[in-house]
Amino acid sequence: ETGVTQTPRHLVMGMTNKKSLKCEQHLGHNAMYWYKQSAKKPLELMFVYSLEERVENNSVPSRFSPECPNSSHLFLHLHTLQPEDSALYLCASSQDTGTGYQPQHFGDGTRLSIL
């Protein structure tokens, strides 16, 4: 299923660089999510957008800045990251938020390495 597309698939950046991750969903969903996945740890929810409005921000450092220009696109802007930010960043979408049966559809993720 290619309903959620993330670019780039891999990113290596220095601690002083600025880069952006992009996510696009073709499923007509109203909600989009950013997650961080580190080895052997649970998925960490970073941000949730519903109808382009941010509804959740789980105490994420300000060096991560999300942007949702419309319900199909989601960006994660990165600046002055730390080595511990190296991880797989997953984007997901669901039809809506605030109800029980809302399976999330994930992209393949961006593997981020901070030098």
**Cα distances (Å, whole numbers) of residue 100 to 6, 26, 29, 86, 106:** 26, 22, 15, 32, 18
Using rule CB under 8 A, residue 70 touches other proteins: no
Judged by beta carbon, residue 49 or residue 106, the one nearer other proteins is 106
Asked if 114 interacts with other proteins (CB under 8 A), we say no
From 19, 20, 22, 45, residue interacting with other proteins (rule: CB under 8 A): 45
* Given 19, 56, 75, 79, the residue binding other proteins (CB under 8 A): 56
DSSP string, 44-61: EEEEEEETTEEEEE-S--
What is the helix (H) or strand (E) element at residue 11, kind and residue range? strand 10-13
Nearer to other proteins, 57 or 80 (CB): 57
